[in-house]
Amino acid sequence: MNTQPELAWNDVPVCDTFAEAFTTVGTRIIVTAISESWVRIAATEVTGYATSVIACDAEAGVEKFLSPEESPDGRPGVSLMFFAFSRSALEKAVTNRVGQCILTCPTTACYAGIPVTDPEKALALGKQLRFFGDGFQISKKWEDRRLWRIPVMDGEFVCEDRVGSFKGVAGGNLLICATNQSAGLLATEAAVTAMQAVDNVILPFPGGIVRSGSKVGSKYSALKASTNDAYCPTLRAETNSDLPEGTGCVYEIVIDGETFDDVQQAMCDGLQAATQLPGLLQITAGNYGGKLGKHHFHLAEVIAELKRR
């Protein structure tokens, strides 16, 4: 449950509360293509419909784009991260997505962004997709890694046999309360830009921003989650609102990352950037009373970290 603001940064009130996040299983793949435009198309397709595991098979997003000098095959590339609640669910989601959205995309190749250090934690990728080659696929060794060359109509699709996985953190968040939609969007966009510069994290929602923040449960038994009415400005008179007077808009940013520290760094950078903009009334975070997720990002610690910089 959120508390009244007892903190502040750049004269913006910050609630003395915490964001509650979950342990997940994550992975990273590197996708390359003949040009940056085709890299961006591939990235958009494979990370589509991947905002929340409440209804999606995985949470996914762009970690960063890669220059030809940074990519495995000397072409433009992108680093993509995927998160799910189990290794089996993650393997299925990544394999399906790569098969439908990367294999089909002109000129692409797909490489592991996490090395396989423990075979039991590896995800089968090319190992499964190779069968699309209908017996014409060719195995290729690359140092100590195995790639598959799968014939397709513009040449070959090169895909790593397996990709490693890690225990990740999903659900770090900030809630940005503003006087109106324009002020809220500008501040939240600034926060997103700052967070996207942090390695090892993704922001899985559209443009990194959530307008439909949710709470657990619903009056309708079939739903696992429903609108976070305490943060809906239009419902102030009808519900137990947590919004400061004058709030006309609230946007949320959700962060998934490889480690606790990665997510906390993104929250620090995002809060710093957002509070540079006018029109903010409060920054807070969403939690479930500490009962559901083991990772707690206290905004007091975020402020303390900013002060140490």
- List, for residues 207-225, the tens digit of each pLDDT value: 999 999 999 899 999 999 9
- Average pLDDT of the segment spanning 56-71: 98
- Percent of the chain whose predicted confidence (pLDDT) is above 90: 95
- List, for residues 65-104, the tens digit of each pLDDT value: 999 999 999 999 999 999 999 999 999 999 999 999 999 9
- Percent of the chain whose predicted confidence (pLDDT) is above 70: 99
- List, for residues 253-291, the tens digit of each pLDDT value: 999 999 999 999 999 999 999 999 999 999 999 998 888
Radius of gyration of the chain measured on its C-alpha atoms: 21
- List, for residues 230-251, the tens digit of each pLDDT value: 999 999 999 999 999 999 999 9
pLDDT tier at 292, thresholds 50, 70, 90: confident
Read off the pTM: 0.95
- Average pLDDT of the segment spanning 163-192: 98
Chain-centre distance of CA 7, in angstroms?
27
Q: Which residue has the tokens 């799968």?
A: 150
Query: CB of 299 within 8 A of CB of 285?
Result: yes
The DSSP H or E segment spanning 14 is: strand 12-15
CATH top-level class of 5-17+168-308: alpha beta
- List, for residues 5-33, the tens digit of each pLDDT value: 789 999 999 999 999 999 999 999 999 99
Q: Which residues of 129-158 are buried (b: 16+ CB within 10 A; e: fewer)?
A: bbebbeeebeeeeeeeeebbbbeeeeeebb
- List, for residues 85-96, the tens digit of each pLDDT value: 999 999 999 999
Q: Residue 241: name the closest of 4, 6, 17, 20 by CA.
A: 4
Q: Is 22 helix (H, G, I), strand (E, B) or coil?
A: strand
On the question of a common fold for 5-17+168-308 and 25-164, the answer reads yes
Query: CB of 267 within 8 A of CB of 297?
Result: yes
Query: Strands 155-160 and 166-178, how do they pair?
Result: unpaired
DSSP 210: B
Q: Residue 203: name the closest of 263, 290, 260 by CA.
A: 263
- Average pLDDT value over all residues in the chain: 96
pLDDT at residue 3, as a whole number: 59
pLDDT over threshold 50, residue 1: no
Classify residue 66 as exposed, middle or buried by CB count within 10 Å of its CB (0-12, 13-18, 19+): buried
Query: CB of 259 within 8 A of CB of 293?
Result: no
What is the sign of the dihedral through the CA atoms of 278, 253, 96 and 24?
Answer: positive
What is the sign of the dihedral through the CA atoms of 270, 14, 297 and 216?
Answer: negative
Spell out the domain ranges in the chain: 5-17+168-308, 25-164
CATH top-level class of 25-164: alpha beta
Please state the length of the chain. Answer: 309
